[in-house]
Amino acid sequence: MTNFIVPIDFSVESLKGLEWAILFSQKKTINIQMVYVLSNSSNFQPSVVEEEHRYADEKFKKLVVDYGRRLGKQSKLRYIIKKGKIYREVVNQVNSYKNAVVSASTHGASGFEELFIGSNALKIMAATELPVFTIRTGMPEEVKKIVVPIKLHLDTRQKALVAADLAELFGAELHVVSISTRRNKRDLARLESYSKQVLNYFNARKLKTVSKTLVGESLPSLTNNYAEAVDADLITIMSGAIDKWNVFLGSYAQQMVKSATAPLLSITPKEKQIPAGFSTFGG
């Protein structure tokens, strides 16, 4: 995570993505690139496009001055103005970098709410293998508690590597929360095995951990209720149910993007990849 791509429409809400990136800059050296996409520029006359471009350029220059003062660790703050569809241009920009992430508010004034709320959020996650941070409501001043939900899926453990890196970066406590809608012993035993493997991995890296098992009717509700109860600063999830051709409207990832009150990190799983140090259990 050395390059943060931040979609901006200059609304106060859209600046949450920038605030989140600034928080990281105070812990490590990063490159922050803000992105503005000209509105339907292909349908506008050149004079209108030029006027909007000038407006965006002036706004960006002010943001660079205002937020540049808060950058840490020799981090850099830049911007780019693009033409085209917002969704495509954001994806193109993040995919043009290595070690990049998207950092975006889920609300804005120029279509960003439409972009990140609902199925379009999952499309942008499906279109890039790089991580996506989404911030829906408040912004924490620090990252002290990270919730790591563990589900009955093999790829659920892949988030442990990123979560551990973030915990080390911020000195945060990791909350390993096993969640299930199933109550039978076989499934709960499998879930416990996954959870123990993640906890052992965190303990081997000498990270502070808390563990909890929750069973209920809704996985997103279990996750969000726990995160709110412990005042979590970040939730990490896998976006494994996302398919660029077939977005599941009821998926856990989509519901989390729409409902999480804490910042959310969505990670695309590597197909059939199990992190080193984890054994397969339950097939």
Residues 13 and 185: their CA atoms lie apart, in Å, by 45
User: Each residue of 18-48: pLDDT tens digit?
Assistant: 999 999 999 999 999 999 988 765 555 677 8
Is the residue at 279 inside a domain? no
Shared domain for 104 and 221, answered yes or no, is no
- CA-CA distance, 40 to 38, in Å (whole number)? 6
Look up tokens 């954001």; give the residue. 90
274 domain residue, yes or no: no
Q: Is residue 234 part of a domain?
A: yes
Asked if 94 and 181 sit in the same domain, the reply is: no
Residues 122 and 204 occupy one common structural domain: no
Residue 127: give the domain boundaries: 3-135
pLDDT beyond 70 at 109: no
99 and 172 assigned to the same domain: no
* pLDDT, tens digit, 9 for 90 and up, residues 218-234: 999 999 999 999 999 99
Residues 13 and 55 in one domain: yes
For residue 282, being part of any structural domain is answered with no
Say if residues 128 and 102 touch (Cβ distance below 8 Å). Answer: yes
Residue 248 — very low, low, confident or very high, per pLDDT cuts 50/70/90?
very low
| Segments of the chain assigned E as strands | 3-7, 31-38, 76-83, 100-105, 132-135, 145-150, 173-180, 209-215, 234-238, 264-267
Which one of 75, 102, 135 terminates a domain? 135
Task: State whether 119 and 10 are in the same domain.
Answer: yes
- The count of structural domains within the chain is 2
For residue 117, being part of any structural domain is answered with yes
Instruction: Quick: pLDDT tens for 84-103.
Output: 877 788 889 999 988 999 99
Q: Strand pairing of 100-105 and 3-7?
A: parallel
Does residue 162 share a domain with residue 110? no
- pTM beyond 0.75: yes
Separation CA 233–CA 264 (nearest Å)? 9
Using DSSP's 3-state secondary structure scheme, residue 271 falls into coil
Q: What is the CATH number of the domain that holds 251?
A: 3.40.50.620
Q: Tell me which of 61-75, 190-204, 213-227, 245-259 is least confident.
A: 245-259
Instruction: Give the tokens for residue 38.
Output: 């000209």
Q: Are residues 193 and 263 in the same domain?
A: yes
Q: Are residues 104 and 223 in the same domain?
A: no
What are the residue ranges of helices labelled H in the chain?
A: 16-25, 46-68, 86-95, 112-116, 119-127, 159-170, 185-204, 219-229, 252-259
Question: Domain for residue 72, yes or no?
Answer: yes
